Structure 1
């Protein structure tokens, strides 16, 4: 049985969900971003228990196809931005998402925009900027290295997008000390 889970966007999320399912006596065969495969079907009562557990951790079960597809788009983007994918796509984002999710990009884009109130491209940019913020806070990489890691064509391109999204230059953001980062599920 497959369960589709909203807001499950990182490796830590996967560990929490796996651990909590095992505590409930369920056997997850696999736990991926946004999706869990259980070894067997579960009753409505057990599903309600799982829902309560998920809600406690800020997750939610997704039952309709459109919502599952949107979560898959988000999870692919997050995996790209956070380096969870093996290779950054050689094609553009639209081509990558179409190939990975087996849907026309126009269809994906329309559903995403209708449901999320923003475009896939803006969501992708927001994720990249949040990742840049995280890397700036760590203070281990130069801006050039961050631009390279996030697949920006140049430092100038990263800086322009950063300022457009945050209102600050990356260096000003770094100097502020009050690092205004957002959790992934709020982007």
Structure 2
């Protein structure tokens, strides 16, 4: 029988590597390690889970044991994956995408997310997109038009407006000063 563990704050590829290494150090061989989720070959006892959780907490992660928290982490993982890895692949609106991926009504998902996180899914999505814009501006390899297209903005003007609303700076001003450091994805 397999065991699925849900892990809070596991939001990037480096996080996956750290969690996998820690589990291997503890003597477990993960079958798979994805954002927010690890699959192990065997079921674990309560003591084994507690030991894993204790070790993961020293690294800034923790096991999630309730259904609602797992759903919140899955929402975050899907949004992060969408914004930071899949770029322009969203062919539908965010609500339809999340509903289909999570097999839940969007009203339920959004109300739960807002209740637990204190912000809306849309604001979280925008915050992730702005962090990606910051990253791309710092790399200085794409024009603002290319960034807008890559992140599914309808226009450069809309991207610039949203960027200024969130950061207080225009994208070109941000690019010039680079004072405002990027946030880690788990702090957005």
> How high is the TM-score relative to the length of structure 1?
0.95
Is the Cα–Cα contact under 8 Å of residues 10 and 33 in structure 1 kept in the other structure?
yes
Is the Cα–Cα contact under 8 Å of residues 137 and 179 in structure 1 kept in the other structure?
no
In structure 2, runs of 5+ residues without a counterpart are none
In structure 1, runs of 5+ residues without a counterpart are none
Match of 1:82 among 81, 84, 102: 84
Which residue of structure 2 lines up, in the alignment, with residue 66 of structure 1?
68
Partner Cα separation in structure 2 for residue 59 and residue 112 of structure 1: 20
3-state secondary structure, aligned to 1:61? strand
**Cα offset, 1:65, TM superposition:** 0.6
**Cα offset, 1:84, TM superposition:** 4.2
3-state secondary structure, aligned to 2:53? helix
User: 1:74-153 counterparts in 2 under 5 A?
Assistant: 74-84=76-86, 88-153=89-154
> How high is the TM-score relative to the length of structure 2?
0.95
User: 1:7-86 counterparts in 2 under 5 A?
Assistant: 7-84=9-86
Partner Cα separation in structure 1 for residue 58 and residue 159 of structure 2: 36
Matched positions, count: 186
Flag the structure with more relative contact order, 1 or 2, with Cα contacts below 8 A and sequence separation at least 6.
2
